[in-house]
Chains A and B, each alone.
Chain A
Amino acid sequence: MRKIWEFFKGTLVLVAKGSKAYYVWVFTLLCFMGIGFLAYLYQLQHGLIVTGMRDQVSWGFYISNFTFLVGVAAAAVLLVIPAYVYHWKPLKEVAVLGEMLAVSAMVMCLLFVTVDIGRPDRFWHLIPKIGILNFPQSLLAWDVVVLNVYLVLNLTIAVYILYNLYHKREPNKSFTTPLLLFSIPAAVSIHTVTAFLYNGLSARPFWNASILAPRFLASAFCSGPAFMIILFQIIRKYTRIEIRNEAIFKVAELIAYSMFINLFLLGAEVFKEFYSNTVHLAPLQYLLEGLKGHNDLVPYIWTAMIFNVSAFFLFLIPQTRENFVTLNIGCVLIFIGVYIEKGMGLVIPGLVPDTLGEIFEYSPTGIEILLTMGIWATGLFVYTLLLRVAVPILTGEFFVGEDGMKAVIVDTEFIRRADHLAEQSYRD
């Protein structure tokens, strides 16, 4: 028990130490979190009327962000598959970084749901036995279950691996491998369940298409790995963790395939709706070309389309895929493109026009935007702190001392220039 306490104390010391860049970054995030918190207090005081949502469009920016982030959380872990298949050397690193990204994204998902509900004081009604969880009838109940299981699962694996490495032990494979393998179907299931949450509503033809869940998975396979590619580059530049180019290029190639499937499924959906031209066409029309003069979403969705298609070609052509400038441009394009397409582009047309044919144009208010920024800052803050502890453990700069009790911290800088690193290792 004291061992765990010492480890915990060590992590606290770690997160409080770092280079100037680290402090600036953390402080900036804390500022945004503070602003977001104040925005939430304001919303609690006045009710959800301070958002742009109304009876016609009863879900908005919060649920859009939630949906997108479930995809990020799922795909971060799915990177474990290629890591296994292609025998990437830093398999452990890829797994831990992916799982911690999943944890951070899950935290954001849960926060987005919390700020969206009208009575957060009654959250305990969702807890089985104490409250009533309408399982298995309600897909929202399913989502509550799978998201929490997924959060705990990823946290367990990451902490277990790191705690063992800290003690300079190889993590027990017969414990980690089954859990890692289980996290793969779990990742697929969280995104499928989230898709079904929309998919099952016959009142909303835009969502009530069986292609929705496959589209969710395909687009998630783009956004999550795009984030990981950028992260891999940052990590290998500023820490001692080595990630080879081939691994990064392989991920980019996988993104290209997923994006192809995503675009193909979208095309199938667009063809079916426009050619058959039934009453169910209206939402798609509203999204792509505007309806009766209402076209708030149109510029956004076409931006997303252009971004996604451009990124697809950047990742498909080997020359641009293996050039870090075009590769990173592609990652940013995909992240933004999928954010629009799987966020507002998915949620809002499901509700516009509404079930009685009314077109109510929704756009988020300042409060919604500030609160959303606050939650994103919280997610990045959580991820930063997790990395702050994980990276020195993975590089062997944070470990248990000779006495098997006290923690030893070698890394006091965290974010350092690579040349600085080289110099230091030379001195070692």
Chain B
Amino acid sequence: MPNQGKRDDPAFRMSRRKMMKGVAAVLGAMALPAKDAPASVWESFFQKNFRELSPEELKGVLARLEKEYSEKYKKAVTVRATPPIEGILFGYGLDLSRCIGCRRCVYACVGENNQSRDPQIQWIRVLQLNKERGVDLEDAEQYYNPAKVPEKGHFYMPVQCQQCELPPCTKVCPVQATWKERDGIVVVDYNWCIGCRYCMAACPYGARHFNWKKPGLPPAEMNPETHYLGNRPRPVGVVEKCTFCIQRVRNTPGRYTACVEICPVGARKFGNLLDPESEIRYIIENKRVFILKEDLNTRPKFYYFYAT
């Protein structure tokens, strides 16, 4: 056998082992469970859409995910599915006259919401704009990197999911893996999304992000307080987005989102649009407010304003 020598060659053995490993990984990646796969893998494969789960089934799903994440991240992870609270419609205000472009909100969000660190996924994008040209997106710069902000002649506009009343992204999803909840938050079922990225083409605000690679989330940095529709760890190949920190604002009514909490200049406001006494209502009624890309009729619940 002329091939015999080749077979004993370590390089050949290596490549073969690597290939077998590759094949195994592929089966894993496709999540076509092997025969002896644990029952939980099959459960995950056949899991129904979140909105079709009965309360019993939902309980099972949450328990399974908690177990899975706790093992993976070596800490006690809770996965809740707290429903919307009646009488609340979340709204957000952003004061462009205050924002200094420090991007603390970007990283607070990444930490709170378990975004991938490698590759980096950020739900908030801060645009640097020229005061002379105003809100002109053609002129926006996302990758500004001076030693100190704010820079002279510039102002800053953070953009994240605008939680539209008429979201173009949910309309186009071919499998209803994304929808608007009763409290106005647009969510994604990461276990139902097929990763076609049609919603990303449809979103006028660049608010949707795709897991091009298995998300890299170091266990030490993982936030164990999670929500099924929010910051729980995401699998590869699905879309994710800002949820107004659904795990915070639903579990503890009145609590702020991570970006509001961190903002050093108080440029970010958050509250209940249905409450006439709320700060967000005061801003809308008394300040100069605008919404982004008003002509597209998406009706954002994210209001930019100038307080001074």
A86 to chain B, nearest CB (A): 41
Q: At the interface, yes or no: A48 with Cβ under 8 Å from chain B?
A: yes
Q: Which residues from B are CB-within-8-Å of A197?
A: 198
Q: At the interface, yes or no: B177 with Cβ under 8 Å from chain A?
A: yes
Please count how many residues in chain A sit with their CB below 8 Å of the partner chain's CB atoms: 53
Tell me which of A45, A49, A117, A140 contacts B29 (CB under 8 A). Answer: A45
Q: Quick one: closest A residue to B237, CB to CB?
A: A118
CA distance A58 to B206 in the complex (A): 11
Tell me which of A117, A119, A350 contacts B201 (CB under 8 A). Answer: A350
6 A-B pairs within 8 Å (CB atoms) are namely A41-B23, A59-B201, A118-B197, A119-B31, A119-B238, A355-B204
Given contacts A119-B195, A119-B237, contact A356 B30 (CB under 8 A): no
Counting chain B CB atoms within 10 Å of each CB, the highest count among A42, A122, A351 belongs to A122
Q: Which residues from B are CB-within-8-Å of A351?
A: 201
* Chain B interface SS verdict (over half): loop
B306 to chain A, nearest CB (A): 20
A47 and B174 contacting across the interface, CB-CB below 8 Å: no
CA distance A118 to B127 in the complex (A): 29
A44 and B202 contacting across the interface, CB-CB below 8 Å: no
Q: At the interface, yes or no: B76 with Cβ under 8 Å from chain A?
A: no
CA distance A55 to B241 in the complex (A): 12
Q: Which residues from B are CB-within-8-Å of A388?
A: none
Q: Which residues from B are CB-within-8-Å of A6?
A: none
Q: Quick one: closest B residue to A131, CB to CB?
A: B175
Q: Which residues from B are CB-within-8-Å of A133?
A: 174-175
Q: Which residues from B are CB-within-8-Å of A48?
A: 195, 210, 212-213, 237
Q: Quick one: closest B residue to A123, CB to CB?
A: B194
Counting chain B CB atoms within 10 Å of each CB, the highest count among A46, A198, A353 belongs to A46
Q: At the interface, yes or no: B108 with Cβ under 8 Å from chain A?
A: no
Q: Which residues from A are CB-within-8-Å of B142?
A: 356, 358
Q: At the interface, yes or no: A209 with Cβ under 8 Å from chain B?
A: no
Nearest 7 pairs of A and B residues by beta carbon: A118-B195, A118-B237, A203-B204, A357-B137, A49-B213, A140-B174, A49-B212
Q: How large is the interface on B (under 10, 10 to 19, 20 to 34, 35 or more residues)?
A: 35 or more
B117 to chain A, nearest CB (A): 14
Per the 8 Å Cβ criterion, residues 39-97 of A in contact with B are 41-42, 44-49, 51, 53-56, 58-59
B202 and A356 contacting across the interface, CB-CB below 8 Å: no
A330 to chain B, nearest CB (A): 34
A44 and B26 contacting across the interface, CB-CB below 8 Å: yes
Q: Which residues from A are CB-within-8-Å of B202?
A: 201, 203
A55 and B204 contacting across the interface, CB-CB below 8 Å: no
Given A118-B238, A119-B31, A134-B176, 14 extra CB contacts under 8 A: A44-B29, A44-B30, A45-B29, A48-B237, A55-B200, A116-B197, A119-B195, A132-B52, A133-B175, A140-B174, A198-B201, A203-B168, A356-B206, A357-B139
Q: Which residues from B are CB-within-8-Å of A279?
A: 137-138
Q: Quick one: closest B residue to A138, CB to CB?
A: B174
Q: At the interface, yes or no: A428 with Cβ under 8 Å from chain B?
A: no
Given contacts A118-B211, A120-B30, contact A47 B201 (CB under 8 A): no
Q: Quick one: closest A residue to B121, CB to CB?
A: A55
Contact with B along A119-158 (1 / 0, CB 8 A): 1111101100001111001111100100000000000000
Q: Quick one: closest B residue to A40, CB to CB?
A: B26
Tell me which of B23, B26, B29, B210 contacts A55 (CB under 8 A). Answer: B210
Q: Quick one: closest B residue to A356, CB to CB?
A: B206
Q: At the interface, yes or no: B49 with Cβ under 8 Å from chain A?
A: yes
Q: Which residues from B are CB-within-8-Å of A356?
A: 125, 127, 137, 140, 142, 159, 205-206
Q: Which residues from A are CB-within-8-Å of B58?
A: none
Q: Quick one: closest A residue to B169, CB to CB?
A: A203
CA distance A120 to B31 in the complex (A): 9
B302 to chain A, nearest CB (A): 14
Counting chain B CB atoms within 10 Å of each CB, the highest count among A197, A202, A351 belongs to A202
CA distance A266 to B32 in the complex (A): 46
